[in-house]
Amino acid sequence: MIITQDMIDNAKAAGACKSALRLAVSVIKGRWPEAESVIATSPEGAYWYALNVIKGRWPEAESVIATSPEWAYWYALDVIKSRWPEAENTITKYPGWAYWYARDVIKGRWPEAEGVIATDPYWAYRYARNVIK
C-alpha cells in the first residue's frame, strides 16, 4: 500500500497521533534515514518500509525480518520475488507459513519443510492438494 496525502489528511481528521502523521509525511517524501534504525527493529515495519519506501531489498534489516516467518514470507514474495535462503530456517518451523512459501515463492514442493507441514492436518492437506497436486 502506498501512503497518499489524502490518507494522511483522513488520519489527521480521525485524530491520529502526531508522531504517526510525521512518519507518514516523511514516507511519502522518501526515505527517512533518521528513523531507519528504529524501523529496522520490527520485522513488520522493516518489511513495509522496504516494500513501500525503499522499493527493494533492505539488507540492513533483513536479519530482523528473517526472524518472523510471516514477514519473511511476505518479504520473499513481494520484495525479493524469489526464494530467500537466509530466512528458510525460520519459515520451515511453521506449517502454515511453510505451505504458503512452497506454494507462492518456490511454486512447488519444498522437501526441507515437508516434515513440519505434515505435522498439521490442515496444512498437510492443502500442501498435498495445492502443491504436490
33-86 pLDDT per residue, tens: 778 889 999 999 999 999 988 899 999 999 999 999 999 999 999 999 999 999
The burial of 59, by beta-carbon neighbours within 10 Å (0-12 exposed, 13-18 middle, 19 or more buried), is given as: exposed
Tell me the whole-structure pTM to 2 decimals: 0.76
How many residues are given for the chain?
133
pLDDT in tens, 76-131: 999 999 999 999 999 999 999 999 999 999 999 999 999 999 999 999 999 999 99
